[in-house]
Amino acid sequence: MTSLPWLTVLMVIPLLGAIVLMLLPRDRDVLPKQVALGFSLLTLVLTVVMGLQFQADSTAPFQFVESYPWIPALGISYAVGVDGIGLVLVALSATLVPVVILAGWNDVAPGGRSIKGYFALILVLETLMIGVFSATDVFLFFVLFEVMLIPIYFLIGRYGGADRRYAAVKFLVYSLVGGLLMLAALIGLYVVSAQQLGQGTFDFAALVGLDVDPNTQKILFLGFFIAFAIKAPLWPFHTWLPDAAKESTPATAVLLIGVLDKVGTFGMIRYLLPIFPAASDFYAPLVVALAVIGILYGALVAFGQKDMKRLFAYSSMSHFGFIALGIFVFTSWGMTGSTLYMLAHGLSTASLFLTAGFLMMRAGGSSLISTYSGVNKVAPVLAGFFLFAALSSLALPGLASFIGEFLVLLGTFARNITVGVIAALGIVITAAYALKLYQKVATGPTSPAVEGMTDLRGREITALAPIVFLTILLGVLPAGVLNVVNPAVERTLEVVGISDPPPVIPPIVQGGEQ
């Protein structure tokens, strides 16, 4: 490995940026934004450089590993490292932050709440996001998992819409319920490790190596699972999301739903399955049922929404159903699919919320669908991006989400045909609400709120363009991601001890020399 502590550097730079921002004079309006953008871009560049050094064929479970004792008395260390799944999610975080900074350039009106505070919070969040995806000490993971709530809480509560206080508190209390349950389970795990190893530990590898009694597993699993299910969110732990999404600024919503919520599903892959294999197997039918209900229910509720942001929230819930489904069918297709879907969903969420944000900003901030009509006529570029976002959300083949969704369904189908078929129905409803939204907003005669609307400006297009580019790139050439994700998925499934079902008829080898 290289000598540079990559992951720590990635975490420190945004934090440094946040500190620099706070030291800036109060009366500067533009400077904080430029500084924030600079730091986030620097992080992105370094992430790319790090990603290029990642060795997909390495046999080590984690790369860029660092480990220092933190609280040795409790077996806690500062230990970071990424596998393929962690790497892509770190990359997703590093990509989305500069995008939302650019997109949220004017989210905070000068003279109101602190501008530098807004961008500093986003940068702090970036530090925490990168940390949470790269922690290999479960305690460190938990700490970051919880601390992440604070910047989001302030981002919603200070910079959000009319009902922001309610939404922020609801979000935080919901998350704390999960967090505390997870804490209890985490401590339980620690106690088990102390009993088995003599000295308690939070080291991921050591915990995976434990031989936890299946009954204990079942209890501890629930603690972790509910936390992740609230975070993700799965049905029926989701009702904080619509409120949080509605009251957030688009930039916050993108980070919240696009990245933070992935911690839930990431946690399922990284922690639930390897540490509690028996319990995962035991609860799989339940989780699959919740996921499938979530897929259909989320889509149906989204279909009937009158508010754009709430619609996106429910659609995300539906998509998180797919992601959880892919994880809990225990096939390499499903799990890789889920990982890809996480990426794709991050991107599609970004395009949805950001375009909707641009739209709303032009019409006084209303997120009611009925406010808008005929946008395509006055702002075709905006409408075009909006359509792209809708298509990306409905998993059009050729776009990133398609491969994820298809693999998830394939993995499900291979395990249980009925569940696969029911889940597949979701994609029809998804198309229905996505296109219904586009139809209402972009087509038809222009509504008064839309009349005279300006089209997207250069900054806004610059923010969206990389998202669009990546969405298409991942849909057409996912090889780069698959190369790094596949080994991690294989390794996880190996730990769980389940392999893919073989085909009914052994495939015929393509003969001859190729």
Partner 1 sequence: MNPEVMTAPSIDYIALLPYIIVGAAGVIGVIVEAFVGRNGRRPIQLVLAFGSLIGAFGVLVVNRTTLGLQAEGAIAIDGPGILFMGLILLLAILVALLMSERQLDPAGDAFAPRASALPGSDDERELTTRGYFQTEIWPLFLFSVFGMMLFVTASNLLVLFIALEIMSLPLYLMAGMSRRRRLLSQEAALKYFILGAFSSAFLLFGIALLYGYSGSVEFSVIADALAAEPGQTALVVGGVALLSVGLLFKIGAVPFHAWVPDVYQGSPAPVTAFMAAAVKVTAFGALLRVMYVALGGVRWEWEPLLWIIAGLTMLFGSVVAIAQTDMKRMIAYSSIAQAGFILIGVSTATAEGLYASIFYLVAYGFTTIGIFAIIAMVRDAGGEMTRLDQWAGLGKRSPLVAVSFGIFMFALASFPLTSGFIAKFLVFESALAVDNLGLVIVGVIASVMAAFFYIRVVVIMFFREPVEGSPAAAVPSATTTLALAVSAAVTVILGVLPEPVINLIEQAGVFLR
Partner 2 sequence: MIGNGAVVLSEGAPSLEPLAAATGVFAYLWLLIALPLLGAAVLLVGGRRTNRWGPYLGVLTVSLAAVFAIVLVVSLLGLPADDRAVGQTLFEWVFVGGFTVPAALQLDQLSMVFVLLITIVGALIHVYSLGYMEDDPDRRKFFGFLNLFIAAMLLLVLADNYLLLYVGWEGVGLASYLLIGFWQFKPSAAAAAKKAFIMNRVGDVGLSLAIMLIFITFGTVTFDSVFAAAGEANESTLTWIGLLLLLAACGKSAQFPLQAWLLDAMEGPTPVSALIHAATMVTAGVYLIVRSNPIYDGTAFALTTVVIIGIITMFLGAIIGSAKDDIKKSLAGSTMSQIGYMVMAAGLGPIGYVFAIFHLLTHGVFKANLFLGAGSVIHGMHGEQEMRRYGALRSVMVITWITFMCGYLAIIGIPPFSGFFSKDDIIHAAFEQNIIIGICGVLAAGITGFYMTRMVIMTFFGKPRWPDDAHPHESKPVMTIPLIILGIGSVVTGAALLYWGNIESWLEPVTGIEEKPLAIPTIVLEGITLLIVLIGVSIAIARYRREVPVLAPKGNLLTVAARNSLYDDAINEALVVKPTYVLSDGSIFVDERIIDGTVEGSARLVGGLGARLRRLQSGFARSYALLMVGGAVMVLVILYLARLP
219 binds, among partner 1, partner 2, none (CB under 5 to 8 A by kind): partner 1
Contact map string, positions 190 to 219, toward partner 1, x by CB under 8 A: xx--x------------------------x
119 binds, among partner 2, partner 1, none (CB under 5 to 8 A by kind): none
Residue pair 109/90 in contact by the 8 Å Cβ criterion: no
Nearer to partner 1, 22 or 30 (CB): 22
Please select the residue that binds partner 2; options are 442, 449, 450, 467, rule is CB under 8 A.
Answer: 442
* 73 touches partner 2 (CB under 8 A): no
Longest distance between any two alpha carbons in the chain, whole Å = 73
Residue matched to tokens 């998830």:
408
**Is cis: bond before 151, omega within 30 of 0?**
no
Contact map string, positions 196 to 235, toward partner 2, x by CB under 8 A: ----------------------------------------
- Strand-pairing partners, residue 68, are 78
* 157 touches partner 1 (CB under 8 A): yes
Residues counted in the chain? 514
Instruction: Tell me the C-alpha distance between 318 and 307, whole Å.
Output: 17
361 binds, among partner 2, partner 1, none (CB under 5 to 8 A by kind): none
What minimum distance in Å lies between the beta carbon of 223 and partner 1? 9
What minimum distance in Å lies between the beta carbon of 14 and partner 2? 32
* 24 touches partner 1 (CB under 8 A): no
Nearer to partner 2, 265 or 430 (CB): 430
478 binds, among partner 2, partner 1, none (CB under 5 to 8 A by kind): partner 2
Q: Pick out residues in 142-201 that bind partner 2 (CB under 8 A).
A: 173-174
- DSSP H helical segments within 416-457, as ranges? 417-442
17 binds, among partner 1, partner 2, none (CB under 5 to 8 A by kind): none
467 binds, among partner 2, partner 1, none (CB under 5 to 8 A by kind): none
Instruction: Tell me the C-alpha distance between 296 and 298, whole Å.
Output: 6
Instruction: Tell me the C-alpha distance between 171 and 244, whole Å.
Output: 6
Please select the residue that binds partner 2; options are 482, 484, 492, 496, rule is CB under 8 A.
Answer: 482
* 396 touches partner 1 (CB under 8 A): no
Residue pair 93/266 in contact by the 8 Å Cβ criterion: no
Residue pair 303/315 in contact by the 8 Å Cβ criterion: no
* 508 touches partner 2 (CB under 8 A): yes
**What are residue 498's phi and psi, to 5 degrees?**
-125, 135
Please select the residue that binds partner 1; options are 125, 172, 414, 474, rule is CB under 8 A.
Answer: 172
Instruction: Tell me the C-alpha distance between 169 and 165, whole Å.
Output: 6
What minimum distance in Å lies between the beta carbon of 119 and partner 1? 17
Given CA atoms 409, 412, 416, 420 in this order, what sign does their dihedral have? negative
Residue pair 55/18 in contact by the 8 Å Cβ criterion: no
Nearer to partner 1, 202 or 438 (CB): 202
What minimum distance in Å lies between the beta carbon of 89 and partner 2? 18
CA-to-CA dists, residue 50 to 5, 53, 184, 466, angstroms: 10, 5, 35, 19
73 binds, among partner 2, partner 1, none (CB under 5 to 8 A by kind): partner 1
Please select the residue that binds partner 1; options are 9, 12, 46, 187, rule is CB under 8 A.
Answer: 187
CA angle at residue 26 from 23 to 28, to 5 degrees? 100
Number of residues that bind partner 2 (CB under 8 A): 76
CA angle at residue 320 from 419 to 420, to 5 degrees? 15
Q: For the chain, first and last CA: distance in Å?
A: 35
* 421 touches partner 2 (CB under 8 A): yes
Q: DSSP secondary-structure letter at 255?
A: I
For partner 1, the binding residues (CB under 8 A) are 70-74, 142-143, 146-147, 150, 153-154, 157-158, 164-165, 168-169, 172-173, 176-177, 180-181, 183-184, 187-188, 190-191, 194, 219
